[in-house]
Amino acid sequence: MHRPQVFISYRRDDAAGYARAVHAELAREFGADRVFIDVDDIGAGQAFDKVIRREVGASQVLLVLIGERWLGERDGAPPRIHDVGDFVRIEVATGLARGMRVIPLLLDGAAMPTEAQLPEPLRALARRNALELANAGFAADIERLVATLHESLHGPTAAPLLPVRRRVTLRAAVAGVLLVGTAVVAGAWFVRLGPAIAEARPDINGVWQAEVTYDWPNARYAERFEFAGESAELHGSASFLGVPRGLVEGRFERDTFAFVTRTREAGADGSGELVHRYRARRVGDELRFVMQTEGGASSHLPLEFAARRVAPRT
Protein backbone atom coordinates (compact mmCIF):
# COMPACT_ATOMS: atom_id res chain seq x y z
CA MET A 1 0.00 0.00 0.00
CA HIS A 2 1.35 3.45 -0.95
CA ARG A 3 1.85 5.89 1.88
CA PRO A 4 0.61 9.47 1.42
CA GLN A 5 3.18 11.88 0.07
CA VAL A 6 1.23 15.11 0.55
CA PHE A 7 -0.48 15.95 3.85
CA ILE A 8 -3.16 18.68 3.83
CA SER A 9 -3.33 20.52 7.16
CA TYR A 10 -6.23 22.88 7.83
CA ARG A 11 -8.61 24.06 10.53
CA ARG A 12 -12.13 22.89 9.78
CA ASP A 13 -13.93 26.10 10.76
CA ASP A 14 -11.39 28.11 8.75
CA ALA A 15 -10.68 26.31 5.48
CA ALA A 16 -12.78 23.15 5.05
CA GLY A 17 -14.05 24.13 1.60
CA TYR A 18 -10.61 25.02 0.31
CA ALA A 19 -9.16 21.82 1.71
CA ARG A 20 -11.70 19.66 -0.12
CA ALA A 21 -11.17 21.47 -3.44
CA VAL A 22 -7.37 21.23 -3.20
CA HIS A 23 -7.58 17.57 -2.16
CA ALA A 24 -9.78 16.71 -5.15
CA GLU A 25 -7.27 18.15 -7.61
CA LEU A 26 -4.19 16.67 -5.95
CA ALA A 27 -5.83 13.25 -5.63
CA ARG A 28 -6.61 13.35 -9.37
CA GLU A 29 -2.95 14.17 -10.12
CA PHE A 30 -1.10 11.95 -7.63
CA GLY A 31 -3.73 9.36 -6.65
CA ALA A 32 -6.05 9.45 -3.66
CA ASP A 33 -3.75 7.16 -1.65
CA ARG A 34 -0.90 9.69 -1.95
CA VAL A 35 -2.79 12.71 -0.54
CA PHE A 36 -3.93 12.71 3.09
CA ILE A 37 -6.95 14.65 4.36
CA ASP A 38 -8.40 13.89 7.77
CA VAL A 39 -12.08 13.71 6.80
CA ASP A 40 -11.48 10.82 4.40
CA ASP A 41 -8.44 9.16 5.92
CA ILE A 42 -9.07 8.88 9.68
CA GLY A 43 -11.51 6.09 10.38
CA ALA A 44 -14.15 5.94 13.08
CA GLY A 45 -12.68 5.06 16.46
CA GLN A 46 -9.09 5.89 15.52
CA ALA A 47 -7.05 8.24 17.72
CA PHE A 48 -6.60 11.52 15.81
CA ASP A 49 -3.26 12.47 17.37
CA LYS A 50 -1.66 9.07 16.67
CA VAL A 51 -2.92 8.95 13.08
CA ILE A 52 -1.79 12.54 12.43
CA ARG A 53 1.75 11.93 13.67
CA ARG A 54 1.99 8.67 11.72
CA GLU A 55 0.72 10.14 8.45
CA VAL A 56 2.76 13.35 8.68
CA GLY A 57 5.79 11.17 9.35
CA ALA A 58 5.05 9.17 6.21
CA SER A 59 4.62 12.23 3.99
CA GLN A 60 7.14 14.37 2.13
CA VAL A 61 5.23 17.65 1.84
CA LEU A 62 2.94 19.38 4.34
CA LEU A 63 0.49 21.93 2.91
CA VAL A 64 -0.71 24.33 5.62
CA LEU A 65 -3.94 26.06 4.55
CA ILE A 66 -4.11 29.40 6.40
CA GLY A 67 -7.26 31.52 6.43
CA GLU A 68 -8.34 34.41 8.61
CA ARG A 69 -9.29 32.06 11.49
CA TRP A 70 -6.32 29.68 11.26
CA LEU A 71 -4.88 30.67 14.65
CA GLY A 72 -8.17 29.70 16.28
CA GLU A 73 -8.90 32.93 18.14
CA ARG A 74 -11.45 32.70 20.96
CA ASP A 75 -12.86 35.01 23.60
CA GLY A 76 -11.16 35.04 27.00
CA ALA A 77 -8.42 32.56 26.10
CA PRO A 78 -5.29 32.34 23.94
CA PRO A 79 -5.79 31.10 20.35
CA ARG A 80 -6.17 27.36 19.97
CA ILE A 81 -2.82 27.13 18.16
CA HIS A 82 -1.22 27.54 21.63
CA ASP A 83 -2.97 24.42 23.01
CA VAL A 84 -0.54 21.49 23.06
CA GLY A 85 -3.38 19.17 22.01
CA ASP A 86 -4.55 21.30 19.08
CA PHE A 87 -4.54 19.07 15.98
CA VAL A 88 -3.34 21.83 13.63
CA ARG A 89 -0.45 22.56 15.99
CA ILE A 90 0.44 18.85 16.16
CA GLU A 91 0.45 18.56 12.36
CA VAL A 92 2.61 21.60 11.70
CA ALA A 93 4.98 20.99 14.62
CA THR A 94 5.53 17.39 13.49
CA GLY A 95 6.30 18.47 9.93
CA LEU A 96 8.73 21.18 11.00
CA ALA A 97 10.48 18.91 13.50
CA ARG A 98 11.04 16.31 10.77
CA GLY A 99 12.58 18.91 8.48
CA MET A 100 10.08 18.16 5.72
CA ARG A 101 9.00 20.72 3.13
CA VAL A 102 6.22 22.76 4.74
CA ILE A 103 4.36 25.08 2.33
CA PRO A 104 1.95 27.69 3.78
CA LEU A 105 -1.02 28.38 1.50
CA LEU A 106 -2.57 31.78 2.28
CA LEU A 107 -6.31 31.85 1.55
CA ASP A 108 -8.10 34.93 0.20
CA GLY A 109 -5.44 37.39 1.28
CA ALA A 110 -4.95 36.00 4.79
CA ALA A 111 -1.78 37.30 6.43
CA MET A 112 1.15 35.05 7.21
CA PRO A 113 1.32 34.59 11.01
CA THR A 114 4.32 36.19 12.67
CA GLU A 115 6.73 34.35 14.94
CA ALA A 116 5.31 36.28 17.91
CA GLN A 117 1.84 34.85 17.20
CA LEU A 118 3.05 31.26 17.16
CA PRO A 119 4.12 28.84 19.91
CA GLU A 120 7.79 27.95 19.93
CA PRO A 121 7.49 24.64 17.98
CA LEU A 122 5.75 26.46 15.11
CA ARG A 123 7.83 29.65 14.81
CA ALA A 124 9.87 28.35 11.89
CA LEU A 125 6.63 28.36 9.87
CA ALA A 126 6.77 32.18 9.71
CA ARG A 127 10.03 31.89 7.75
CA ARG A 128 8.68 29.54 5.08
CA ASN A 129 7.94 30.92 1.61
CA ALA A 130 4.17 31.02 1.10
CA LEU A 131 1.89 30.56 -1.89
CA GLU A 132 -1.53 32.14 -2.21
CA LEU A 133 -4.91 30.62 -2.99
CA ALA A 134 -7.35 33.18 -4.33
CA ASN A 135 -10.67 33.25 -6.15
CA ALA A 136 -9.55 33.51 -9.77
CA GLY A 137 -7.67 31.40 -12.32
CA PHE A 138 -8.45 28.13 -10.57
CA ALA A 139 -7.26 25.70 -13.26
CA ALA A 140 -4.00 27.48 -14.07
CA ASP A 141 -3.21 28.10 -10.41
CA ILE A 142 -3.79 24.50 -9.38
CA GLU A 143 -1.57 23.46 -12.27
CA ARG A 144 1.26 25.55 -10.86
CA LEU A 145 0.73 24.10 -7.40
CA VAL A 146 0.87 20.62 -8.93
CA ALA A 147 4.15 21.52 -10.67
CA THR A 148 5.58 22.71 -7.36
CA LEU A 149 4.63 19.44 -5.68
CA HIS A 150 6.08 17.37 -8.53
CA GLU A 151 9.38 19.17 -7.99
CA SER A 152 9.24 18.53 -4.25
CA LEU A 153 8.38 14.86 -4.67
CA HIS A 154 10.41 13.91 -7.73
CA GLY A 155 13.12 16.56 -8.20
CA PRO A 156 13.38 19.65 -10.41
CA THR A 157 13.86 17.81 -13.70
CA ALA A 158 10.70 15.75 -13.31
CA ALA A 159 8.19 18.58 -13.39
CA PRO A 160 8.40 20.99 -16.31
CA LEU A 161 5.92 23.84 -16.01
CA LEU A 162 3.47 22.89 -18.75
CA PRO A 163 0.44 24.73 -20.12
CA VAL A 164 -2.76 23.89 -18.30
CA ARG A 165 -3.66 20.30 -19.13
CA ARG A 166 -7.05 20.16 -17.47
CA ARG A 167 -9.70 22.77 -18.12
CA VAL A 168 -11.08 22.38 -14.63
CA THR A 169 -14.16 24.41 -13.85
CA LEU A 170 -14.77 25.71 -10.38
CA ARG A 171 -18.11 23.91 -10.33
CA ALA A 172 -16.43 20.57 -10.96
CA ALA A 173 -13.67 21.22 -8.44
CA VAL A 174 -16.06 21.87 -5.57
CA ALA A 175 -18.92 19.57 -6.55
CA GLY A 176 -18.35 17.38 -3.50
CA VAL A 177 -18.23 20.41 -1.24
CA LEU A 178 -21.46 21.80 -2.67
CA LEU A 179 -23.27 18.63 -1.63
CA VAL A 180 -22.73 19.63 1.98
CA GLY A 181 -23.52 23.27 1.36
CA THR A 182 -20.04 24.78 1.00
CA ALA A 183 -18.83 26.60 -2.10
CA VAL A 184 -15.24 27.66 -2.65
CA VAL A 185 -12.81 28.80 -5.24
CA ALA A 186 -9.12 28.28 -4.86
CA GLY A 187 -5.95 29.17 -6.68
CA ALA A 188 -2.26 29.84 -6.24
CA TRP A 189 0.16 32.24 -7.88
CA PHE A 190 3.57 30.61 -8.08
CA VAL A 191 6.33 30.66 -10.67
CA ARG A 192 8.49 27.52 -10.56
CA LEU A 193 12.16 28.04 -11.18
CA GLY A 194 14.01 25.86 -13.62
CA PRO A 195 17.55 24.74 -12.74
CA ALA A 196 19.19 27.51 -14.78
CA ILE A 197 17.28 30.26 -12.97
CA ALA A 198 17.88 28.68 -9.57
CA GLU A 199 21.64 28.61 -10.25
CA ALA A 200 21.55 32.31 -11.24
CA ARG A 201 19.94 33.42 -7.98
CA PRO A 202 21.55 36.77 -7.05
CA ASP A 203 23.48 37.08 -3.79
CA ILE A 204 20.83 38.90 -1.75
CA ASN A 205 20.65 36.98 1.53
CA GLY A 206 21.25 39.20 4.55
CA VAL A 207 19.96 42.55 5.82
CA TRP A 208 19.55 45.60 3.59
CA GLN A 209 18.42 49.14 4.34
CA ALA A 210 16.98 51.89 2.14
CA GLU A 211 15.82 55.46 2.63
CA VAL A 212 12.34 55.56 1.09
CA THR A 213 10.31 58.72 0.49
CA TYR A 214 6.63 57.89 0.03
CA ASP A 215 4.19 59.93 -2.03
CA TRP A 216 2.65 61.95 0.78
CA PRO A 217 4.10 64.86 2.80
CA ASN A 218 6.88 64.27 5.37
CA ALA A 219 7.03 60.56 4.70
CA ARG A 220 10.68 59.50 4.63
CA TYR A 221 11.49 56.23 6.35
CA ALA A 222 14.50 53.98 6.79
CA GLU A 223 13.14 50.64 5.58
CA ARG A 224 14.79 47.32 6.37
CA PHE A 225 14.80 44.18 4.21
CA GLU A 226 15.86 40.76 5.47
CA PHE A 227 16.23 37.99 2.88
CA ALA A 228 16.98 34.30 3.30
CA GLY A 229 16.46 31.04 1.44
CA GLU A 230 18.27 28.86 -1.06
CA SER A 231 17.80 28.05 -4.74
CA ALA A 232 14.16 28.83 -5.63
CA GLU A 233 13.09 29.84 -2.12
CA LEU A 234 12.85 33.43 -0.95
CA HIS A 235 11.58 34.33 2.51
CA GLY A 236 12.14 37.00 5.11
CA SER A 237 10.62 40.42 5.77
CA ALA A 238 10.37 43.94 4.36
CA SER A 239 9.37 46.90 6.50
CA PHE A 240 6.72 49.44 5.54
CA LEU A 241 6.68 52.65 7.58
CA GLY A 242 9.30 51.00 9.77
CA VAL A 243 7.18 47.93 10.65
CA PRO A 244 8.39 44.51 9.36
CA ARG A 245 6.00 42.60 7.09
CA GLY A 246 6.45 38.97 6.09
CA LEU A 247 7.19 38.18 2.44
CA VAL A 248 4.78 36.16 0.30
CA GLU A 249 4.92 35.14 -3.36
CA GLY A 250 8.74 35.34 -3.34
CA ARG A 251 10.11 34.42 -6.76
CA PHE A 252 13.07 34.90 -9.10
CA GLU A 253 12.93 35.75 -12.79
CA ARG A 254 16.46 35.44 -14.18
CA ASP A 255 18.42 38.36 -12.68
CA THR A 256 15.47 39.99 -10.90
CA PHE A 257 13.39 38.95 -7.93
CA ALA A 258 9.97 39.96 -6.64
CA PHE A 259 7.76 39.57 -3.59
CA VAL A 260 4.62 40.92 -1.93
CA THR A 261 3.83 42.24 1.55
CA ARG A 262 0.54 43.37 3.07
CA THR A 263 -0.54 46.06 5.53
CA ARG A 264 -3.83 46.66 7.31
CA GLU A 265 -4.99 50.27 6.88
CA ALA A 266 -7.48 51.84 9.29
CA GLY A 267 -9.71 54.65 8.03
CA ALA A 268 -12.99 56.39 8.65
CA ASP A 269 -14.85 53.69 6.72
CA GLY A 270 -13.18 50.84 8.58
CA SER A 271 -10.03 48.85 7.91
CA GLY A 272 -8.74 47.78 4.53
CA GLU A 273 -5.69 46.10 3.10
CA LEU A 274 -2.74 47.57 1.23
CA VAL A 275 -0.81 45.24 -1.05
CA HIS A 276 2.83 46.20 -1.66
CA ARG A 277 4.45 44.65 -4.75
CA TYR A 278 8.25 44.83 -4.94
CA ARG A 279 10.55 44.03 -7.84
CA ALA A 280 14.33 44.38 -7.52
CA ARG A 281 17.62 43.79 -9.30
CA ARG A 282 21.10 43.71 -7.81
CA VAL A 283 23.38 46.31 -9.39
CA GLY A 284 26.87 46.35 -7.88
CA ASP A 285 26.52 46.82 -4.11
CA GLU A 286 22.91 47.95 -4.31
CA LEU A 287 19.46 46.46 -4.73
CA ARG A 288 17.45 48.67 -7.09
CA PHE A 289 13.76 48.47 -6.19
CA VAL A 290 10.48 49.42 -7.81
CA MET A 291 7.56 49.25 -5.38
CA GLN A 292 3.86 49.57 -6.21
CA THR A 293 1.21 49.90 -3.49
CA GLU A 294 -2.35 48.84 -4.32
CA GLY A 295 -5.60 49.28 -2.42
CA GLY A 296 -6.50 51.74 0.30
CA ALA A 297 -8.32 55.05 0.09
CA SER A 298 -6.00 56.67 -2.46
CA SER A 299 -3.93 55.64 -5.47
CA HIS A 300 -0.13 55.51 -5.34
CA LEU A 301 2.56 55.97 -7.96
CA PRO A 302 5.39 53.42 -8.28
CA LEU A 303 8.40 54.26 -6.10
CA GLU A 304 12.03 53.71 -7.02
CA PHE A 305 14.75 53.44 -4.39
CA ALA A 306 18.01 51.65 -3.67
CA ALA A 307 19.02 49.53 -0.66
CA ARG A 308 22.51 48.73 0.60
CA ARG A 309 23.52 45.72 2.66
CA VAL A 310 24.02 46.45 6.38
CA ALA A 311 24.51 42.87 7.62
CA PRO A 312 25.95 39.91 5.71
CA ARG A 313 24.11 36.75 4.98
CA THR A 314 24.23 34.10 7.67
Range of the domain at 304: 198-311
Residue 100 sits in the same domain as residue 218:
no
Write down the pLDDT at residue 185. Answer: 32
Q: CA of 245: how far to CAs of 92, 222, 230, in Å?
A: 22, 14, 20
What is the domain count for the chain? 2
CATH classification of the domain holding 227: 2.40.128
Residue 214 sits in the same domain as residue 172:
no
Residue 155 sits in the same domain as residue 221:
no
- For 157, other C-beta atoms within 10 Å of its C-beta total 9
- Reported as a single tens digit per residue, the pLDDT across 247-297 is 988 888 777 899 999 887 765 455 577 889 999 999 899 999 999 988 876
Cβ pair 53, 94 in contact under 8 A: yes
Write down the pLDDT at residue 152. Answer: 79
Q: What mean pLDDT, rounded, does the chain reach? A: 78
Residue 45 sits in the same domain as residue 107:
yes
Q: What are phi and psi of 86, to 5 degrees?
A: -65, 130
309 pLDDT tier (thresholds 50, 70, 90):
very high
Write down the pLDDT at residue 235. Answer: 86
DSSP code for 27: H
Chain length of the chain: 314
Choosing from 111, 143, 178, the residue where a domain stops is 178
Cβ pair 186, 133 in contact under 8 A: yes
Write down the pLDDT at residue 16. Answer: 86
- Reported as a single tens digit per residue, the pLDDT across 188-230 is 333 333 444 445 688 899 999 999 998 888 889 999 999 988 8
* 103 or 233, higher pLDDT: 103
Cα separation, 15 vs 46, whole angstroms? 23
Cα separation, 187 vs 170, whole angstroms? 10
Count of CA atoms in the C-beta half-sphere (13 A) of 45? 0
Indicate if the pLDDT at residue 10 is higher than 70: yes
Cβ pair 251, 258 in contact under 8 A: yes
